[in-house]
Structure formats: structure tokens, C-alpha cells
RNA sequence: GUCUCGGUAGCUCAAUUGGAUAGAGUGUCGGCCUCCGGAGCCGAAGGUUGUGGGUUCGAAUCCCGCCCGGGACACCA
């Protein structure tokens, strides 16, 4: 018999939900062909008033059998042997079966996992070999806010997969071979400031990149400006004509479309004009621009020379790369994020010709308008694997990478944590890979939305530049420091030295940035807002960190070390609703992780963390540890506190967020 | 034009993928420190889920039409 996914839970004896599903299996036998689907409809209750778990299968099953849902529910409950786990199941509403776990069972389960670092979460029965492709910045330019989501989400997914027992290879597929290298090579040759280069090679490279980019844009804009003005004028005319023309059904819609087109043309023109103005306002820049009229083409030529193996450009590339990588590493070190591999585009360069050859041999690639293309089913646009000029594209590199990951890394699954704007590319890539013979791998685009500013537009500085990641982190940590200072200064006896305050500020600031990102569901755009992410109230990383610090405060106050609890048995007493809720919440950790991994959604873990910290805060409010009515209750609560602290620490660690004993 | 993602409380976002009376945070108003950290806890108000139809026991979720917004659509990656 084939066992579907739910039965993985057999090993996972601490997982309440799996165990409950296991009890329903015999009770449902013979009622439906697809028992797994029915078991899948047993879930945590969506409201505590309905109990702890609810089974929703009676309605669809009744339909299948042509009976009434409550009747079916009654029959299933009649067959169900669950008295040792749950109280008597109740049927509610149209036919929901509500389950409440016996409190003594919760207590017993909690005792068993009390000192388990994994909180009783078993590793998966069938580990997969997963490559996670994330972050992937261009090395020649500084990392900016756009790289934040991929980096933070990707890291969290890696950590969670590893925790679950999968074999994970994180790979930073950096852009180290593209046109931007031609630009810095050109810049280095013509605009290098030797003293700046000596002082800070990265800084100088960033400046050169920006300069060459600006000058290229200038010439492109100057060339395009007349056409753009004409275009704007044309659409102004057309708009006017239409407005004056006869009313009919299509007019309104057409008008809206044209207004949109007009607005787009207008802002396009404005952007181009700004690029031109910026150069013209500076005599030095203007002189540079005029001295290098065909800078864009010549930068492209430098790239082409590099790709062709030109000795001088290769030497420059070799000189630049360590500098660029060190700059990236500095950010990753601050973020406390690491990679198993950093195999960039350049690394796959030697394989590209072979990839194209293989595609041709299999008859997958055809020439179209001079470019060699694959036309995967369901897509009209070509997937270009070799350009007219003979150069390969990132499509080619991505295919080479897939093959490498399958053949050399034995990957069963590859996750691409990349901006949703590239979803069409990945659709084509995956379709092509399947045709090409990589159909045995699971390829998944874990897409995410844009980081927006409070104005609802992509997050930029007031001057309109993208925000550098470095300065963003600085700002968050600075703000966190102010909060930490203020808080500690308020105490009669400050607890933190200046050095400790700095360390805490870093934990709080970084946590705020990461949590803010992760707690949104990844496909939606999210608004970046320092004030919200570092708010001292509400659903932020600090809330969890604060809860953690409060637990530590209890132990400090009572002068008991958390480790000292571990020696003896942990008898748990759950006499109050607050203790019970916290216990149940702690036992749901495994479920939260499963939910995250079912579709790579870290926000489901932030949700669990918030609920857990909230359950603790209620407990903290109502259930005094130091004034517990008995020694055994006090000990029980201490164990609960210790467990909760480790739950928060472990959960946050899967998001890449740290905790501090004192905030 | 084609494709794609979205529109949910004043604001920022959820809703375990079709389940019960759509939930959190924030903001507003009102309670709670002789007691372990008040960065906390409790309560109230706040909704025609863009809109009109359809599918069924049941829809924010699936299908169709329309209205708004973001994004992608041939040689940048």
C-alpha cells in the first residue's frame, strides 16, 4: 500500500496532529477511496473556542455517500478510538468535528520534550537533496535594498530545511561575468583615481561603475530625447483627437489606456531629461561625456574581449574579483548569512558552448532572427540561448547551472529565491530544462514582491537612488541603539555596558529588518518602514526578543540557572488556561515548520513565533513563577519558561534572528 | 495587445490553499503595576473582502465579465 505524506508522522510520535490523523485512519476505513484527502482535512482549530483541532471532512464525505454530514460525523466518531488522547469529540455546525486534547496528555507530552533542543520535532523520513539559489547580487555594484528579500528569505528557507533534516546546499549565483564588468574595466582604464583606488578599491570600483553607467545613460538619453518628445507629442495629439471625437462604447476604455500611455511616456521623458541634466549641471561630467561619445559600445566591447579570453581584461577581472567578493562578504558577515557555494556566472562559462551544442543536437534550439532560441510549449516569446552576436545569455548559464546541480551536486530539488518579475524567465527555463532531460528534478521559483517605500513606489532615497544595503543596516542598528540606550538608562541600575548595548542593538536592529521582511507573505510587495519594524510595540522581532529576555529575567531574579533544571524529571502542571495554551502552542512547533516547508513560506513561522510569545506574555501576566502556590508548580512553571525560551530562540534562529539575555 | 501578481478595518498585513461569526498588529477610546522586565496584559469601536454574475452544503479563496494598481513580454542579467 502506498502511504501518502501524512503518514510520515508515524515516526514523529510527538506530533499531535499526525497522531490524531493516525487515529482517524481506521475510523474512516471503507468510507472513501481517498482517505488521505479526508485526513488532510484535519487541522488545528481556527478558533480556540472550537477546541484544539478540527476535522472538516464530514461535509464532503456525506456528499459522496449521499448521507447527512452530522450522521457521517456521528458514525466516524463512534468508530474512533481516541479517548486516551482527546476529550469526547463534539459535532458542531454543519458537521465539523471538534477535538480537544486532554490536558493531562498535553502535560505528559510536554514533559517528554521539556529538555529536547528540537522541541520534539523529528527529522523528516525522506530527506531530500535541495539546492537553494538565493541572494545572487551583481558583484561590480554595491548591494542594495533589492537584494535584501532574496537574501533573508533564502537564508531562512535553508535553515528551516536543514532543521527538518534535509540536505541543503546554499549557492550564491553571483553576477560576475556580465556587462557591468565591461563597464568597470572601461572605467578603470579611463577614469581611475589612483589615490582613491589605493584607499578603497571597492569604493573606487563602485564609483567607476556608477560613472560609466551615468555617461552611457546620458548619451542614450540624448539620442532618444527627440524621439521621446515626438512620441509624447503624438500621444498628446491622439488623446486630444479621441477626446474631441464621437462618444462610443470603446471610447472610455481607449481613453484610459491612452492616458496611461501618455503618463508613461511623460515619466519616461522626465527620467531621461533628469539623466541628461545631471551630467550637464557638472562641467566635469559633461567634459567626460563629450570625451567618450561611444562609451556604451566600448564598454560592451570590453565585456566581449573579457569573454573572448583577452589577457589584459582577464588580468583586470582577476584583480577586481577578490575586492568585489570581499565587499559582498562584509555584508554577509554583518547579516550572519553564509553560503556553501558561490558559483557565479563566470564559473559556468566553460560549459555554455556544450549546453548550446546539446540543445541543438536534441533539436530543441532553432535559429530565429539570427538568435538561437528554444520555444517551449505555452510561451510565444523565445528563450534565447545564443545571441545574434554569438554571446550567450543568462538563459544559457541557468541551463548549465541546472545540469551542474543535477550531475555534480545530485540535487533533487532546486529553489530559486528570486524576484517575481522574473517568473516568465523561470517558466521558460523550467520548461526548457524538462525538454532537455531534467524532468526528474523539482525546479521551483520561490518568488517574492518588491520592497516599497512609504509612497507606494519602489524603495528609493529622496534623491531617487536605490538604497544601499550597508547604509540600511547601519540605520536600523543606529535606531535600535537609541531604543536600547533609552531603555537601559531608565533602569535604576543599568544592566548593560556600552559594549553590550552595541551588541544588543545589532541583534535588535538586524532582527527588526529580517523579521519585517519575513513576516509578510513573500509574494506580496511590502512597505519598508524603519518606524514600524523597530516599533517597541506589536508584532516585531523585538516582541519575541523581549519575551525571551523576560524569561531570562525570571531565572536571573530567582537565581536559578536554566541548565540546573535539566537534571530532574519535568513534571508539568497545566492548571490555568494560560499554561494550557502555552503548552499547546509549544507542541505545535513541528506543525509550523511543516507548514513553512510545504510552500516555502517563512511567514508561517513568524506567525507561530508571535502566537507563542503572546501565549507566554499572557502566562507571564497571570501565572507567577516566584509566587507559585507550591514548589512543584513553581518547578513546572520554570520548566515551561525554559522550554518557551528555547522555542523562541530556536524558532527565531530559523529566521536568522538572534536573541539576547538582556535587552 | 498578451501574460502575470495584486485590490481585505483609517494604516501595514494575515486568513494553514473551499470551511464555522473574515483575523492580527498599529492607530483611537477605556481598563490593569504594594507582585518575576508595562518593549507587557485585558476590553471596545472599526468590514457589502474593488465590482457584477456563476459553480455548491459552504467562496476573500475556484470560473466568467468589468473597474483600478504593480510587473513582465527578442538578443541586459
Cβ of residue A32 lies below 7 Å from strand B: no
What's this model's pTM, rounded to 2 decimal places?
0.94
Question: Residue A128 above 90 pLDDT?
Answer: yes
A28-34 long-range contacts, CB within 8 A, separation 24+: A28/A57, A28/A76, A31/A61, A31/A65, A31/A72, A31/A76, A32/A61, A32/A64
Angle between helices A201-244 and A179-191 (to 10 degrees): 120
Query: And the C-alpha cell for A22?
Result: 493516525
Q: What is the pLDDT of residues A554-587, one digit of tens each?
A: 999 999 999 888 878 788 999 999 999 999 999 9
What pLDDT is recorded for position A377?
80
> How long is the CA A618 to C1' B43 vector, in angstroms?
15
Q: What is the pLDDT of residue A248?
A: 65
CA of A305 to C1' of B49 (A): 57
A239-248, A380-389, A618-627: which has the minimum mean pLDDT?
Answer: A239-248
The pLDDT of residue A178 is 86
Strand ranges across the sheet with A365-368: A365-368, A371-374, A383-386
Per-residue cell: A587: 507542541
Q: Which residue has the higher pLDDT, A258 or A472?
A: A472
Report CA(A537)–C1'(B41) in Å, whole number.
Answer: 13
pLDDT at residue A254 above 90?
Answer: no
> How far, in Å, is the CA of A378 from the C1' of nucleotide B59?
30
pLDDT for A249: 60
Verify if strand B has an atom below 7 Å from the CB of A285.
no
Percent of chain A topping pLDDT 90: 74
- Residue A370 CB in 7 A reach of strand B: yes
In whole angstroms, B51 C1' to A251 CA is 20
pLDDT at A358: 96
Residues 495-554 of A with CB under 7 A from strand B: 495, 508, 519-521, 523-527, 529, 532, 535-539, 542-543, 546, 549-550, 552-554
- Helices A69-79 & A58-65 angle (0-180, nearest 10): 110
Of chain A, the end-to-end C-alpha distance in Å amounts to 54
What would the pLDDT profile of A409-464 be if each residue is shown by its tens digit? 999 999 999 999 999 999 999 999 999 999 899 999 999 998 888 887 888 877 77
Nucleotide B8 C1' to residue A606 CA (A): 21
pLDDT at A307 over 70: yes
Q: Give the mean pLDDT of A642-663.
A: 96
Coil vs helix vs strand at A658: coil
What pLDDT shows up at residue A566? Answer: 85
Does residue A418 contact residue A136 with C-beta atoms inside 8 Å?
A: yes
Q: Check pLDDT > 80 for residue A488.
A: yes
Report the mean per-residue pLDDT for chain A: 91
ipTM of model: 0.96
Whether A381 sits with its Cβ under 7 A from any strand B atom: the answer reads yes
Amino acid at each position: 500500500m502506498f502511504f501518502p505524506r501524512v503518514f510520515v508522522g508515524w515516526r514523529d510520535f510527538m506530533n499531535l496532529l499526525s497522531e490524531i490523523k493516525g487515529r482517524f485512519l481506521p475510523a474512516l476505513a471503507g468510507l472513501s477511496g481517498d482517505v488521505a484527502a479526508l485526513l488532510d482535512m484535519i487541522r488545528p482549530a481556527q478558533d480556540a473556542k472550537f477546541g484544539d483541532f478540527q476535522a472538516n471532512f464530514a461535509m464532503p464525505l456525506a456528499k459522496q455517500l449521499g448521507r447527512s454530514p452530522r450522521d457521517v460525523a456521528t458514525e466516524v466518531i463512534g468508530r474512533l478510538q481516541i479517548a486516551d488522547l482527546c476529550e469526547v469529540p463534539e459535532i458542531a455546525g454543519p458537521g465539523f468535528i471538534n477535538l480537544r486534547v486532554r490536558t493531562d496528555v498535553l502535560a505528559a507530552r510536554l514533559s517528554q520534550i521539556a529538555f529536547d533542543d528540537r522541541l520534539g520535532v523529528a527529522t523528516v523520513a525522506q530527506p531530500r537533496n535541495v539546492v537553494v539559489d538565493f541572494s545572487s547580487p551583481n558583484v561590480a555594484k554595491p548591494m542594495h535594498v533589492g537584494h535584501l528579500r532574496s537574501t533573508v528569505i533564502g537564508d531562512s528557507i535553508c535553515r528551516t530545511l536543514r532543521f527538518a533534516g534535509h540536505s541543503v546546499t546554499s549557492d550564491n549565483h553571483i553576477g560576475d561575468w556580465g556587462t557591468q564588468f565591461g563597464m568597470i574595466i572601461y572605467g578603470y582604464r579611463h577614469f581611475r583615481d589612483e589615490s582613491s583606488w589605493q584607499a578603497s578599491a571597492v569604493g573606487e570600483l563602485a564609483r567607476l561603475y556608477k560613472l560609466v553607467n551615468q555617461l552611457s545613460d546620458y548619451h542614450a538619453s540624448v539620442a532618444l530625447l527627440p524621439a521621446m518628445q515626438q512620441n509624447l507629442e503624438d500621444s498628446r495629439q491622439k488623446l486630444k483627437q479621441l477626446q474631441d471625437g464621437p462618444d462610443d462604447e470603446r471610447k472610455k476604455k481607449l481613453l484610459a489606456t491612452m492616458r496611461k500611455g501618455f503618463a508613461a511616456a511623460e515619466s519616461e521623458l522626465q527620467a531621461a531629461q533628469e539623466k541628461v541634466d545631471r551630467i550637464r549641471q557638472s562641467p566635469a561630467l559633461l567634459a567626460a561625456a563629450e570625451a567618450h561619445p561611444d562609451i556604451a559600445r566600448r564598454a560592451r566591447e570590453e565585456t566581449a574581449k573579457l569573454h573572448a579570453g583577452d589577457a589584459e581584461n582577464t588580468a583586470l577581472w582577476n584583480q577586481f574579483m577578490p575586492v568585489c567578493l570581499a565587499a559582498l562578504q562584509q555584508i554577509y558577515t554583518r547579516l550572519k548569512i553564509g553560503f556553501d557555494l558561490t558559483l557565479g556566472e563566470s564559473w559556468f562559462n566553460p560549459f555554455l558552448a556544450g549546453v548550446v551544442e546539446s540543445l541543438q543536437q536534441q533539436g530543441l534550439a532553432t535559429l530565429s532572427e539570427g538568435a538561437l532560441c528554444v520555444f517551449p510549449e505555452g510561451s510565444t516569446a523565445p528563450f534565447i540561448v545564443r545571441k545574434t552576436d554569438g554571446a550567450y545569455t543568462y538563459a544559457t548559464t541557468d541551463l548549465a547551472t541546472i545540469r551542474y546541480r543535477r550531475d555534480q551536486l545530485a540535487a533533487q530539488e532546486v529553489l530559486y529565491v528570486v524576484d517575481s518579475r522574473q517568473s516568465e524567465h523561470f517558466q521558460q527555463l523550467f520548461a526548457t530544462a524538462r525538454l532537455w532531460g531534467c524532468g526528474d528534478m523539482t525546479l521551483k521559483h520561490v518568488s517574492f514582491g518588491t520592497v516599497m517605500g512609504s509612497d507606494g513606489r519602489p524603495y528609493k532615497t529622496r534623491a531617487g537612488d536605490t538604497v544601499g544595503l550597508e547604509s540600511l543596516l547601519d540605520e536600523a542598528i543606529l535606531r535600535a541603539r537609541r531604543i536600547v540606550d533609552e531603555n537601559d538608562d531608565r533602569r535604576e541600575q543599568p544592566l548593560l555596558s556600552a559594549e553590550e548595548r552595541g551588541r544588543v542593538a545589532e541583534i535588535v536592529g538586524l532582527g527588526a529588518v529580517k523579521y519585517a521582511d519575513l513576516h509578510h507573505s513573500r509574494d506580496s510587495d511590502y512597505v519598508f518602514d524603519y518606524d514600524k519594524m523597530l516599533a517597541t510595540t506589536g508584532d516585531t522581532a523585538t516582541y519575541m526578543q523581549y519575551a525571551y529576555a523576560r524569561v531570562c529575567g525570571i531565572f536571573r531574579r530567582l537565581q536559578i540557572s536554566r541548565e540546573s533544571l535539566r537534571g530532574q524529571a519535568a513534571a508539568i502542571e497545566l492548571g490555568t488556561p494560560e499554561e494550557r495554551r502555552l503548552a499547546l502552542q509549544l507542541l505545535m512547533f513541528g506543525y509550523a515548520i511543516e507548514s513553512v516547508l510545504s510552500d516555502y513560506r517563512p511567514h508561517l513561522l513568524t506567525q507561530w513565533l508571535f502566537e507563542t510569545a503572546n501565549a507566554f506574555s499572557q502566562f507571564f501576566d497571570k501565572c507567577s513563577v516566584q509566587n507559585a502556590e507550591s514548589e512543584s508548580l513553581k518547578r513546572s512553571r520554570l520548566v515551561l519558561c525554559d522550554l518557551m525560551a528555547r522555542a523562541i530562540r530556536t524558532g527565531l534562529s530559523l529566521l536568522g534572528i538572534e536573541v539576547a539575555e538582556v535587552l
